[in-house]
Structure 1
Amino acid sequence: MQWACLLLPRLALDVVLRTRPDPQHPLVLLSGPATRRIVHAANDAARALGLRSGQPWATAQAIADDFERVELDPAAVEHARELLAHWAYGYSSQVTLAFAHAVVLEIGRSRKLFGDWHTLEPQWRRELQAMGFTHRLVAAPNPWAAHAFARVRDGLAADADVLHAHLARVPVERAGLPVDAVRTLQRMGLRDLGAVLAQPRAALGRRCGDALLRQLDRLCGHVDEPLLCHRPAEGFRARIELGHEVESSQALLFPLRRLTADLAAYLRARDGGVARFVLVLEHDRHATSEVPVGLLAPERDATMLFELARGRLEQARLPAPVIGFELHADALPPFVPDRRDLFDPRPQHGLPWPQLRERLRAKLGDESVLTLESRADHRPERAWHAYSARDASPTPHLLPTPGGSRPGWLLRKPQPLRHGVARVLSGPERIESGWWDGGDVRRDYYLIETARGQLAWVFCDAGRRDGLMVHGWFA
Structure 2
Amino acid sequence: MRWACLLLPRLALDVVLRTRPDPQRPLVLLTGPALRRVVHSANEAARALGLHPGQPWATAQAIADGFDRIDHDESGVEQARELLAGWAYGYSSQVSLAFAHAVVLEIGRSRRLFGDWPTLEPQLRAELQAMGFSHRLAAAPNPWAAHVLARVRDGLSVDHDGLPSMLHRVPVERSGLAHDVVQTLRRMGLHDLRAVLAQSRAALGRRCGAEALRHLDRLSGLIDEPLACYRPADVFQARIELGYEVESSQALLFPLRRLTADLGAHLRARDGGVARFVLVLEHERRPASEVVVGLLAPEREATMLFELARGRLEQAQIPAPVIGFGLRADALPAFVPERRDLFDTRPQQGLPWAQLRERLRARLGDESVLTLEHHPDHRPERAWRAQAVQSRRPAPQLLLTPAGSRPGWLLREPQPLDHDVATIVAGPERIESGWWDGFDIRRDYYLVETVRGRLAWVFCDAGRHGPLMVHGWFA
TM-score, normalised by the number of residues in structure 1: 0.92
Rounded to whole Å, the distance in 1 between the matches of 2:256 and 2:228 is 33
Q: Which residue of 2 aligns with 1:49?
A: 49
Partner AA of 2:432 in structure 1: S
Rounded to whole Å, the distance in 2 between the matches of 1:425 and 1:373 is 34
Match of 2:418 among 398, 418, 421: 421
Partner AA of 1:206 in structure 2: R
SS of the residue 1:76 aligns to: helix
Rounded to whole Å, the distance in 2 between the matches of 1:40 and 1:474 is 76
Indicate whether 1:384 and 2:384 are aligned. Answer: yes
Q: Which residue of 1 aligns with 2:2?
A: 2
Q: Which residue of 2 aligns with 1:134?
A: 134
Q: Which residue of 1 aligns with 2:398?
A: 398
CA contact (8 A) 2:417 2:469 kept: no
Cα gap change, 1:429 to 1:262, in 2 (>3 Å): farther
Gaps of 5+ in 2: none
Moved more, 137-146 or 363-372: 363-372
**CA drift at 1:465:** 4.7
**CA drift at 1:297:** 0.7
Rounded to whole Å, the distance in 2 between the matches of 1:50 and 1:409 is 78
Moved more, 457-466 or 261-270: 457-466
Q: Which residue of 2 aligns with 1:434?
A: 433
Partner AA of 1:287 in structure 2: P
Partner AA of 2:147 in structure 1: H
Rounded to whole Å, the distance in 2 between the matches of 1:169 and 1:426 is 96
Partner AA of 1:147 in structure 2: H
Moved more, 3-12 or 173-182: 173-182
Partner AA of 2:371 in structure 1: T
Gaps of 5+ in 1: none
Indicate whether 1:122 and 2:122 are aligned. Answer: yes
Indicate whether 1:324 and 2:321 are aligned. Answer: no
Counting only pairs closer than 5 Å after superposition, residues 8-27 of structure 1 correspond to structure 2 as: 8-27=8-27
CA contact (8 A) 1:421 1:449 kept: no
SS of the residue 1:93 aligns to: coil
Q: Which residue of 1 aligns with 2:58?
A: 58
CA contact (8 A) 2:378 2:399 kept: no
Q: Which residue of 1 aligns with 2:180?
A: 180
Moved more, 390-399 or 316-325: 390-399
SS of the residue 1:166 aligns to: helix
1:432-463 residue CA offsets vs partner (Å, 9 max, x unmatched):
1326855642124578999xxx9986654224
Partner AA of 1:386 in structure 2: A
Q: Which residue of 1 aligns with 2:215?
A: 215
CA contact (8 A) 1:444 1:463 kept: no
Rounded to whole Å, the distance in 1 between the matches of 2:394 and 2:211 is 68
Cα gap change, 1:472 to 1:323, in 2 (>3 Å): farther
Rounded to whole Å, the distance in 1 between the matches of 2:322 and 2:83 is 24
Moved more, 28-37 or 393-402: 393-402
Rounded to whole Å, the distance in 1 between the matches of 2:55 and 2:473 is 80
Moved more, 174-183 or 122-131: 174-183
CA contact (8 A) 2:447 2:456 kept: yes
Q: Which residue of 2 aligns with 1:206?
A: 206
**CA drift at 1:424:** 4.7
Partner AA of 1:167 in structure 2: L
TM-score, normalised by the number of residues in structure 2: 0.92
CA contact (8 A) 2:417 2:470 kept: no
Cα gap change, 1:162 to 1:391, in 2 (>3 Å): closer
SS of the residue 2:162 aligns to: helix
Rounded to whole Å, the distance in 2 between the matches of 1:234 and 1:429 is 59
Cα gap change, 1:392 to 1:38, in 2 (>3 Å): same
Rounded to whole Å, the distance in 2 between the matches of 1:127 and 1:39 is 30
- RMSD of equivalent CA atoms: 2.5
Indicate whether 1:275 and 2:275 are aligned. Answer: yes
Rounded to whole Å, the distance in 1 between the matches of 2:237 and 2:6 is 23
Cα gap change, 1:30 to 1:474, in 2 (>3 Å): farther
Rounded to whole Å, the distance in 2 between the matches of 1:399 and 1:127 is 54
Rounded to whole Å, the distance in 2 between the matches of 1:359 and 1:335 is 19
**CA drift at 1:56:** 0.9
CA contact (8 A) 1:237 1:328 kept: yes
Q: Which residue of 1 aligns with 2:342?
A: 342
**CA drift at 1:381:** 2.4
Rounded to whole Å, the distance in 2 between the matches of 1:431 and 1:22 is 73
Rounded to whole Å, the distance in 1 between the matches of 2:407 and 2:208 is 90
User: Taking every aligned residue pair, what percent have the same amino acid on both sides?
Assistant: 73
1:50-76 residue CA offsets vs partner (Å, 9 max, x unmatched):
211111111111121111111111111
Moved more, 49-58 or 255-264: 49-58
Rounded to whole Å, the distance in 1 between the matches of 2:408 and 2:146 is 70
Partner AA of 1:234 in structure 2: D
Rounded to whole Å, the distance in 2 between the matches of 1:349 and 1:325 is 32
Rounded to whole Å, the distance in 2 between the matches of 1:305 and 1:391 is 17
1:325-361 residue CA offsets vs partner (Å, 9 max, x unmatched):
1111111111111111111111111001111111111
Rounded to whole Å, the distance in 2 between the matches of 1:382 and 1:89 is 53
Counting only pairs closer than 5 Å after superposition, residues 463-474 of structure 1 correspond to structure 2 as: 463-466=463-466
**CA drift at 1:211:** 1.2
Q: Which residue of 2 aligns with 1:194?
A: 194
Partner AA of 2:181 in structure 1: A
Rounded to whole Å, the distance in 1 between the matches of 2:422 and 2:215 is 91
Cα gap change, 1:178 to 1:293, in 2 (>3 Å): same
CA contact (8 A) 2:297 2:391 kept: no
CA contact (8 A) 1:431 1:441 kept: no
